[in-house]
Amino acid sequence: MSFRLQECILKNDIDNLQLKLNKSNINKFDEDGFTPLYFACMKHCVEVETIQSLLSFGASVDLKTKDGETPLYIAVFNRRYMVASFLVNNGANVNEVNGPRKETALHIASRFGYEDFIPFLVEKDANIDALNSESETPLYVAAKAGRHDSTFLLLAAGANASLSNKDGKIPLYIASELKHKHVVIVLKASKESLIHAKAEADVELRMRPQRVLSTNDMLNRAAVDETYRADIHRRHSIPSEVPNTTPMVLTEIKIPQPRLRTHDPLTGKSYGPCRSLEEVGYDEPPPIPAELRNLPPPKLPRTGGTTMMVGTGTSEGGRVPVRVDGLAENEVMEYLSHSIHKNA
């Protein structure tokens, strides 16, 4: 299959496909071992109308690739429900084994938890207990993968839970071994209580931490889920407008450091109190605030008790006593006679 033919398939160019395809090359393998129909069923961008055109041109619906896979197998693998439904309705064998593991399409749907495919394939007469190369049934691979939804659908459709693989392990054993408690709940339930067991398994699964998806898992899910793809784009896209930010203003803080030693390094004794502000790192005394400059010193109120001045009585509290040595001689005699007369 040439590059131009692949381009026509990817672009759903049916007119050019009709010109390039004929009975000699419609089922021809390319360098990857793919037929045009297999390639179209594999790509999500290829529409059902293009696949219908390939079948009308003579493509074999069950022709396997060099790896032994049918177009139906790759359509189910990539969860292309409309394509798989179209192939089955046009004669694709739902029980055809594929690949080195010899698995059917139901094995793939059960392993990946494609709940929409399981009822469809069972309705189209898929063997619900088909064995792969390891003697594993679809129910076994669903239990091994921890798919309790697939397990519920298979049991409800009549799958045999007692069939073991080549190692003698049944689905309940492998689910218990891998600690899939939600699957064990469904497998241990009777057919009449499957619905209640399914609800209990849903609660058990919700209480378990979610598995961290790998990059490939996220891309595969985004390819089929538009809501998930939009959510990934929203969380990982850079906003259109980057907010403007201003750098933080840094203020240098100068910590005063002593310029001289305060203690004797040999004895550890202090040199005594600081004699100036320069000794502790200040170049000049700190400035006096403007509101405190040129103000007179505060005067303490004299209300008696210990604030009374020495030599005064209670009636003259707060008054400065008269200094005798500051009076003239006649004033001294007058002051003394006044004091003697007052004390008498």
Range of lowest pLDDT (171-180, 222-231, 241-250, 322-331)? 322-331
pLDDT band at 248 (very low <50, low <70, confident <90, very high): confident
Element (H, E) at 331: helix 329-343
- The dihedral over CA atoms of 88, 92, 93, 97, expressed in degrees to the nearest 10, equals -110
Tally Cβ neighbours within 10 Å of residue 23: 8
Q: Nearest-CA neighbor of 220 among 47, 78, 10, 76?
A: 78
The 10s digit of each residue's pLDDT in 48-89 is 999 999 999 889 999 999 999 999 999 999 999 999 999 999
Going by the DSSP 8-state scheme, the letter that residue 62 receives in this structure is T
Range of lowest pLDDT (95-99, 237-241, 297-301)? 237-241
Is the pLDDT at 132 greater than 90? The verdict is yes
**pTM as predicted:** 0.61
Q: Nearest-CA neighbor of 194 among 238, 226, 161?
A: 161
pLDDT band at 15 (very low <50, low <70, confident <90, very high): confident
Kindly state the average pLDDT of the residues 174-187: 94
Which tokens sit at 21? 């395809």
Is the pLDDT at 224 greater than 70? The verdict is yes
Q: Which of 130-144, 204-218, 248-262, 300-314 has the highest mean pLDDT?
A: 130-144
37 Cβ partners below 8 Å, 6+ apart?
27, 51, 54, 55, 59, 60, 61, 63, 71
Task: Between 273 and 108, name the one with better pLDDT.
Answer: 108
Sign of CA dihedral 42, 145, 168, 95: negative
Range of lowest pLDDT (4-18, 111-125, 170-184, 268-282)? 268-282
Is the pLDDT at 166 greater than 80? The verdict is yes
Contact criterion met (CB below 8 Å) for 177 and 161: no
Task: Between 84 and 269, name the one with better pLDDT.
Answer: 84
Which tokens sit at 18? 């009709």
The 10s digit of each residue's pLDDT in 299-313 is 766 555 444 445 545
Q: Give DSSP secondary structure letters for 148-214.
A: HHHHHHHHHTT--TT---TTS--HHHHHHHTT-HHHHHHHTS-STTHHHHHHHHHHHHHHSPPPPPP
Range of lowest pLDDT (182-191, 198-207, 301-310, 326-335)? 301-310
Q: What are the structural domains, with CATH classification, of the chain?
A: 1-93 (1.25.40.20), 100-209 (1.25.40.20)
